[in-house]
């Protein structure tokens, strides 16, 4: 009996060395993740292909990824869920399939390749081997543009769960600073040096972004992050109340930032995001719960309070840039999407190749209405993905939707504080996904890195986390039985 008891007492140190806690892992992984995310959010606010800052971020991402691989034994990643791993493999397979060279007898019979075949015939050049993509260079460039997201995903997977609140504070800090930059931009007018990425403005706040719509995406996802920080706050009651007061004031400032960005998407998604963040905050927090009547009155009050400024902005007479307004004109969002859908059918089911939209889309424009305005995106990520990758893109979209639905279900069925960050990530991913249906926020390295970080939080392996609790329970049980 004594020998069993002594063995049980000697075992806990060996088990505790395997636990995933903030004290057992060095802070290097957390510092690297925070630093990379902040750099991406501050400098990666443009979607312009070939921009020097984007190339620098891709190079930095590649270097950090290689370094994390070399140091993987020192800083091991938390195992992602099998679904997240499969999505990454699927994404890489889409690019790989489009870059494989095909014999001319095969690719010339693919849908949408007739114009290319005619060009070779007019030049009297024998048909060469070609890949599925219309442009290998554009597809490779599109793959390299994913590096900031992969780097962010890898770094956040190496972070202990106990340090997620630091990520939250970093996102909140960047968002507030970006709003301050937006105020300076509006004060300085169209020629203000505060406008980032040399992007002209004057009638709306851009913050650290070249596009005010992308600023609104960052500010929207900051709201559930604030709710998660408030919900997981520890310390005395006085400390928590002070934190909640500060976060409440910061939340109002973020809402103000969304309004001055004058982003239609930001205004449309504001109320649903606020409601979802409120549900997250009040879940399993008895001191924050309201009666059904008071809760309904609060929701109605928030909606009515937002209706007036939203109506003012939406009904304003400010001039919109070509391609930025809703409508079916040649250079309006719905008009661009309609033309892109027609072209998508022309290349179905193989697509034109990832990253080739700006090269192929002009072929399908009305030649009588072509001007100096260049359409670089479909302003709808799903249409553009189907345009470029065909049926494989459709499978990828459905797979991501299924993964998000299942992981969100697992997160929201729980009421513990530990699930707050997964619930916030679920809301943030939904915001980015919905906004992508009438814009392209994830084309910027900033939102791409941020969205990947949320995917890492939502997609961390539940089985591995449970295995640690099982080991701890077995260890406790062994001591109680033998002592």
Q: At what angle do helices 381-412 and 420-435 cross, to 10 degrees?
A: 160
In this prediction, residue 198 carries a pLDDT of 64
Q: DSSP letter at 102?
A: E
> How far is it, in rounded angstroms, from Cα 404 to Cα 83?
9
Residue 189, SS3 per DSSP: coil
Neighbours of 167 (CB within 10 A): 24
pLDDT given at position 318? 43
pLDDT given at position 310: 52
Give the pLDDT band (50/70/90) at residue 20: very low
Question: How far apart, in whole angstroms, are the C-alpha atoms of residue 149 and residue 453?
Answer: 8
pLDDT tens profile 155-208: 998 888 888 889 999 999 999 999 998 888 888 776 666 677 766 655 678 888
Residues whose CB is less than 8 angstroms from the CB of residue 266 and which lie 6 or more positions away in sequence, other chains included = 213, 215, 216, 217, 219, 220, 258
Token readout for 164 is 């997620």
| Residue 452 pLDDT class (50, 70, 90 cuts) | very high
Section 129-148 average pLDDT: 92
User: How far is 414 from 418, CA to CA, in rounded Å?
Assistant: 9
| 266's tokens | 């930001």
Average pLDDT estimate for 333-354: 85
| Residues contacting 454, CB < 8 A, separation 6+ | 221, 424, 425, 428, 429, 432
Which residue's entry shows tokens 């650290």? 208
Tell me what the pLDDT averaged over the chain comes to: 79
Question: Which whole-number Å values give the CA distances from 151 to 51, 162, 330, in the listed order?
Answer: 19, 21, 38
- Res 476 pLDDT > 70: no
Report the alpha-carbon distance of residue 103 to residue 114 in Å, rounded: 15
| Mean pLDDT comparison of 327-331, 340-344, 453-457, highest-scoring range | 453-457
Are 390 and 425 spatial neighbours (Cβ–Cβ below 8 Å)?
A: no
Concatenated DSSP letters of 354-380: TT-HHHHGGGGS-GGG--S------S-
Average pLDDT over residues 355-368: 82
Whether the link from the prior residue into 349 is cis, omega within 30° of 0, is yes
| Contact status, residue 107 vs residue 130, Cβ threshold 8 Å | yes
Q: Give the Cβ contact number of residue 85 at 10 Å.
A: 13
Cβ within 8 Å of residue 37, ≥6 positions away: 152, 155, 167, 170, 171, 449, 450, 453
Statement: residue 457 has pLDDT above 90: yes
Reported as a single tens digit per residue, the pLDDT across 222-237 is 999 999 998 888 777 7
**Mean pLDDT across 78-101:** 88
> Which has the minimum average pLDDT: 7-16, 182-191, 299-308, 407-416?
7-16
**pLDDT tens, residue by residue, 290-323:** 555 555 555 565 555 555 555 544 444 444 443 4
Q: Please give the residue that has the higher pLDDT: either 120 or 196.
A: 120
């Amino acid at each position: 009996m004594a020998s069993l008891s002594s063995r049980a007492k000697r075992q806990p140190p060996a088990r505790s060395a395997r636990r995933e806690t903030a004290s057992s892992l060095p802070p290097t992984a957390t510092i690297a993740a925070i630093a990379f995310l902040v750099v991406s959010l501050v400098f990666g606010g443009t979607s312009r292909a070939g921009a020097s800052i984007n190339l620098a971020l891709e190079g930095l991402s590649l270097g950090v990824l290689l370094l994390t691989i070399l140091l993987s034994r020192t800083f091991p990643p938390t195992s992602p869920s099998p679904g997240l791993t499969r999505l990454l493999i699927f994404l890489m397979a889409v690019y790989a399939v489009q870059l494989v060279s095909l014999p001319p007898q095969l690719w010339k019979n693919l849908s949408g390749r007739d114009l290319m075949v005619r060009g070779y015939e007019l030049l009297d050049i024998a048909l060469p081997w070609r890949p599925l993509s219309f442009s290998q260079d554009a597809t490779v460039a599109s793959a390299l543009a994913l590096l900031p997201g992969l780097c962010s995903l890898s770094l956040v997977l190496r972070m202990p769960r106990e340090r997620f609140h630091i990520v939250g504070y970093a996102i909140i800090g960047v968002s507030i600073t970006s709003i301050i930059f937006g105020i300076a931009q509006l004060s300085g007018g169209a020629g203000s040096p505060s406008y980032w990425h040399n992007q002209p403005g004057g009638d709306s706040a851009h913050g650290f972004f070249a596009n005010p719509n992308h600023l609104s995406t960052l500010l929207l996802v900051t709201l559930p992050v604030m709710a998660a920080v408030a919900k997981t706050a520890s310390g005395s009651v006085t400390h928590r109340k002070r934190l909640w007061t500060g976060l409440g004031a910061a939340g109002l400032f973020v809402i103000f930032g969304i309004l001055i960005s004058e982003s239609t998407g930001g205004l449309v998604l504001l109320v649903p995001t606020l409601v979802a963040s409120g549900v997250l905050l009040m879940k399993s927090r008895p001191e924050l719960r309201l009666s059904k009547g008071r809760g309904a009155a609060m929701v109605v009050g928030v909606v009515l309070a937002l209706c007036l400024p939203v109506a003012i902005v939406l009904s304003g007479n400010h001039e919109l840039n070509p391609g930025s307004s809703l409508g079916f004109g040649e250079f309006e969002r719905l008009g661009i999407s309609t033309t892109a859908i027609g072209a998508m059918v022309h290349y179905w089911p193989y697509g034109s190749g990832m990253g080739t939209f700006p090269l192929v889309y002009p072929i399908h424009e009305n030649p009588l209405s072509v001007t100096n305005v260049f359409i670089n995106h479909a302003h709808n990520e799903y249409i553009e993905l189907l345009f470029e990758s065909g049926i494989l893109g459709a499978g990828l979209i459905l797979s991501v939707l299924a993964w998000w639905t299942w992981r969100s279900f697992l997160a929201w069925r729980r009421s513990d504080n530990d699930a707050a960050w997964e619930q916030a990530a679920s809301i943030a991913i939904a915001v980015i996904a919905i906004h992508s249906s009438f814009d392209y926020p994830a084309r910027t390295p900033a939102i791409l890195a941020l969205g990947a970080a949320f995917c890492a939080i939502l997609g961390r392996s539940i089985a591995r986390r449970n295995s640690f609790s099982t080991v701890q329970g077995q260890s406790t049980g062994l001591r109680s039985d033998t002592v």
